[in-house]
Amino acid sequence: MDKEIKISCSARKNWQYHISDWIDFERAHAKIHSGLKFDYDNVDYAFGTTEDNIPLWGGRMNEGNWINLTRVDIYWLYDKGIGYKATLSSKSMSDADYKNSKEMLKEHHREGNAIITSIDKFARRIKNDFPKYKVEASAVMDITTEEHLNKVIDTDLYDTIVLPICANDDTKFLKSIKNKDQIRLFINAECSYTCPKKVCYGTISQFNKETRDKMICSYYDLKMPRTFYDDSVDWNNFYFDKDKFDKMGFSNYKLLPSFEGQQRTWIMYERNKIV
């Protein structure tokens, strides 16, 4: 594989599993189901939560101080030249939230590590207070238009920008992007691909701050229909045509955990839809 290609791998696992086994599983799964081969040298980051209990965790519910990466995992990543990317993609941040997260930010502040966020104010503070981190705009920002993308780029706050999975299908939008090196695309899919309204992002943030007792899902709780269903696709093992994106000039990708409990892909089938 071209060494220019970089893949950000999910570390969303139980703490008992070592990160080396997890990345090897993702490598093997991608090879078997899509023909995609990559080595440790192609992995720029592993993303997930650490042993730190802070209010800015986002993306997934941090229930019961859920830990993805132990200190053992982190040092293994460093030894292999792989960075740690903290999933601090909460939809809101107070001064107290930032203060209560600073010890964690100090602990992992080093060249090669990154922060995922959806808040410009937080990105700016990271740039000012912890300049060794790279800052990545989260898919939580739901950037699907050239106008929105340009507004985010114009802030000069983000080293990379993750587009939502649905943007993979918008060839016109993707081709219009001038600096494709700044963009990260998903390689595979999960339930957000066909989500009608991503209300979970905000409610997960509230849950992690203990200001809400449950997550709200547009599908389960609000009974909103998916944007589409396709029973012919094996969604749990689905991969996009990465070669197509390579040819467009993209080089940064995001790989999700490849199992049903994390992807919740069963709700993307007509035969399983809630009526």
Query: Of 15, 37, 136, whose CA–CA distance to 26 is shortest?
Result: 37
Burial (CB count within 10 angstroms: exposed 0-12, middle 13-18, buried 19+), residue 17: middle
Q: Is residue 202 part of a domain?
A: no
Q: Is residue 274 part of a domain?
A: no
The rounded distance, in Å, linking the Cα atoms of 83 and 195 is 30
Q: How confident is the model at residue 3 (pLDDT cuts 50, 70, 90)?
A: very low
pLDDT of amino acid 67: 74
Q: Nearest 5 degrees, angle CA 85-CA 125-CA 209?
A: 65
pLDDT at residue 106 tops 70: yes
Q: Is residue 211 part of a domain?
A: no
Supply the pTM of this predicted model. 0.93
The rounded distance, in Å, linking the Cα atoms of 162 and 159 is 10
Q: Is residue 47 part of a domain?
A: yes
pLDDT at residue 64 tops 60: no
**H/E run at residue 198:** none
Instruction: Look at 45-54, 63-72, 88-97, 148-157 and tell me which has the smallest mean pLDDT.
Output: 63-72
Q: Tell me, what CATH number does 155's domain have? A: 3.20.20
Alpha-carbon separation of residue 218 from 111, 125, 167, 211, 221 (angstroms): 38, 32, 20, 19, 6
Q: What is the mean pLDDT of residues 70-86?
A: 97
Q: Is residue 154 part of a domain?
A: yes
Q: Is residue 198 part of a domain?
A: no
Q: Is residue 225 part of a domain?
A: no
Total domains in the chain come to 1
- Please give the mean pLDDT across all residues of the chain: 90
Q: Is residue 220 part of a domain?
A: no
Q: What is the mean pLDDT of residues 12-20?
A: 88
The 3-state DSSP class for residue 139 equals: helix
Q: Which domain holds residue 87?
A: 6-190+235-265
Give the chain's largest Cα–Cα span.
50
pLDDT at residue 47 tops 50: yes
Instruction: Look at 10-14, 234-238, 240-244 and tell me which has the smallest mean pLDDT.
Output: 10-14
